[in-house]
Structure 1
Amino acid sequence: MSRTPAPTAAAAPDPAQARARLRATLIGGLAVALWSALALLTVLSGQVPPFQLTAMCLAIGGAAGAALSALRGGDPLAALRQRPAALALGIGGIFGYHFFYFTALRNAPAAEAGLIAYLWPLLIVLFSGLLPGERLRAAHLAGAATALAGAALIISQGGTLRFAPEHAAGFAAAGACALIWSGYSVLSRVAGHVPTDAVTGFCLAGAALSALCHLALERTVWPQDAVQWAATVGLGLGPLGLAFHAWDVGVKRGDIQLLGVAAYAAPLASTLALAAAGLAELTPRLLLAAALIAGGAALAAMGSRRR
């Protein structure tokens, strides 16, 4: 009589892969930390128009990336030599997000437009379920929704949100923001063969396109003093420079669902940074928002641990 073979035990997780995934997730979290300084540095940069500021900062970030590549013995121009699909994804993500974000703010109230644009972390969590090797769990969805509620408290500033029909064009542009950045983040996972150094080229191309938008739509205003120049350089080196490189590493090799939920900490940290600088007021609403965002991140982390 033949015997039925005993079931084999499931393969144990590879500790090296787990450590690499955690390291990439932490690097992606660095991007969220850098984006937390975006509001404060933007305020300190003065009255520079948005497209001009974006062009300047992306140029600084791209130049810094090229310089680091050269110091490592690499070819800085290699960042620009990518396949058309990779260029379209990277330039479309970095420049496209900023273009539609500023378009939204020109055509809709800032609070409502900002909240719609900041649906991108939730969309990242949703879209990640379509990626090979990823599994979307209920805890991820619950965490993203909870964190979104916390972000809404901050973005709305405690007021009543009113989505009036006359601002439909601005709301549509804000929706495009959310789709573009979430799509860029998730598709970057699929384009994992594209090196992170390519982000340097995306930044430089985005700077050129932003400069064209500035020349067509805005009046040039330069930073007026050392503080404003320092803030502009800080924006270019951090939130609009290193942050994009760190995010690329995180979404390609880290826990993309957890990063999506963690991104909702950025508006909270931005408000806290403004309060620390005396430019915003700490309120009980902020404490509630902090609890919601932290709780959402904890739920998402529970979902990721079940892997």
Structure 2
Amino acid sequence: MQTVTSARHLSTWQGPAAAGLAVLLWALVPLLAGLAEALPPLRLACLALLGGALATLPMARGRPQEPPLSGGSWWWVHLGVPLLIVGAVGACFAALRLAPVAEAALITYTWPLLFLLASEWLTRRRLRPATLGGSALAFAGAALLVAPEALAGGLSGAWGGYLLALLTAFCWALYSLVCGRPGLGLRRRLPRLLLIASLITGAASLGVEGRISAPDAQALLAAAALGLGPYGLAMLAWERALQDPRGRRLGNLAHGVPVLASLFLVMAGMTTADWRLPVAAALVMAGSLAASR
């Protein structure tokens, strides 16, 4: 009896613990990407995804065998999902180079709100007023941070980075929707999907960024940390959290990522503690929580 009770108690905390771990690791992405600035964005994405594939292999192999996929589902999982990962990771690293890191990170981390909007539309075929109001508040926070820099630079400024950050947010929102679908078994297949995504970004890097040069030790360590944490353990943990019966509520924890990411950047001295940064992060978080009530 004691064993059964302990198992139930532990299982109660598995979902929240997994979501919290994913949020903490994702908040480190801008900081780690800044430490790996010696690597071109696509090459960094290739190494990070390769590290993620290696990091998730032992845990994924411990899972029970997933049922086989049908023809259409097989192609979607093994081609569509890696392309979403490539779009999310590659666009994120490029955005952090082309735009100020704090602003780009804040736009990137609006993906939980986009995920909420998409999932509510798919479920209800309409959006509640609270969802629309909270979304407007969150995007107003992003605009508060981005608008001065964007308007000062005009069309030749950081608009490319902002658009890539928005593409990152869309890709992560779609990836989260796919994770919530039963029967796909992404956790078991995650190492393979990350490896396919790494090969795609590697090929794109050779075509776009040219020949390979040996990076320095700091860049390699940062790339390895990105693979082990945000694109390895965090992706397994997030998929586990979304499969929890409370997955919709646990997903709200992701709204805290921009606040943590901004805090890490300020602590590391990679961005200044401008008054707009905490205000914008608070507006994004408050709007996201209001939309998800």
- TM-score w.r.t. length of structure 1: 0.71
- Partners of 1:128 and 1:134 within 8 A in 2: no
Q: Which residue of 2 aligns with 1:208?
A: 199
- Partners of 1:125 and 1:144 within 8 A in 2: no
Deviates more, 1:130-139 or 1:277-286: 130-139
Q: Which amino acid is 1:213 matched to?
A: A
Q: Which runs of 5+ in 1 are unaligned?
A: 1-18
Deviates more, 1:159-168 or 1:188-197: 159-168
Q: Which residue of 2 aligns with 1:87?
A: 78
The answer on 1:240 being equivalent to 2:231 is yes
Q: Which residue of 1 aligns with 2:4?
A: none
1:228 alignment partner, one of 212, 216, 219: 219
Q: What secondary structure, in the 3-state scheme, does the structure 1 residue paired with 2:149 have?
A: coil
- Partners of 1:51 and 1:213 within 8 A in 2: yes
Larger Rg: 1
- Distance in 2 (CA, whole Å) between partners of 1:287 and 1:116 is 14
Q: Which residue of 1 aligns with 2:149?
A: 159
Q: What secondary structure, in the 3-state scheme, does the structure 2 residue paired with 1:214 have?
A: helix
- Distance in 1 (CA, whole Å) between partners of 2:132 and 2:109 is 16
For residue 275 of structure 1, report the CA deviation from its aligned partner: 1.4
Q: Which residue of 1 aligns with 2:173?
A: 182
- Equivalent residues in 2 for 1:62-211, closer than 5 Å: 62-70=53-61, 72=62, 83-101=74-92, 119-132=110-123, 137-154=128-145, 156=146, 158-161=148-151, 164=155, 176-211=167-202
- Distance in 2 (CA, whole Å) between partners of 1:61 and 1:25 is 22
- Distance in 1 (CA, whole Å) between partners of 2:219 and 2:174 is 33
- Distance in 1 (CA, whole Å) between partners of 2:254 and 2:148 is 21
- Distance in 1 (CA, whole Å) between partners of 2:63 and 2:241 is 24
- Distance in 2 (CA, whole Å) between partners of 1:22 and 1:141 is 31
Q: Judging changes above 3 Å, is the alpha-carbon distance between structure 1 residues 288 and 109 closer, same or farther for their aligned structure 2 residues?
A: closer
For residue 205 of structure 1, report the CA deviation from its aligned partner: 0.8
Q: What's the C-alpha RMSD, in Å, of the aligned pairs?
A: 4.0
Q: Which residue of 1 aligns with 2:6?
A: none
Q: Which residue of 2 aligns with 1:270?
A: 261
Q: Which residue of 1 aligns with 2:15?
A: 24
- Partners of 2:30 and 2:105 within 8 A in 1: no
Deviates more, 1:257-266 or 1:124-133: 257-266
- Distance in 2 (CA, whole Å) between partners of 1:248 and 1:177 is 18
- Partners of 1:48 and 1:222 within 8 A in 2: no
Q: Which residue of 2 aligns with 1:61?
A: 52
Q: What secondary structure, in the 3-state scheme, does the structure 2 residue paired with 1:47 have?
A: coil
For residue 212 of structure 1, report the CA deviation from its aligned partner: 0.6
- Partners of 2:187 and 2:236 within 8 A in 1: yes
Q: Which amino acid is 1:286 matched to?
A: L
Deviates more, 1:166-175 or 1:234-243: 166-175
Q: Judging changes above 3 Å, is the alpha-carbon distance between structure 1 residues 193 and 132 closer, same or farther for their aligned structure 2 residues?
A: farther
Deviates more, 1:185-194 or 1:120-129: 185-194
Q: Alignment length, in residue pairs?
A: 278
- Partners of 2:25 and 2:234 within 8 A in 1: yes
Q: Which residue of 2 aligns with 1:5?
A: none
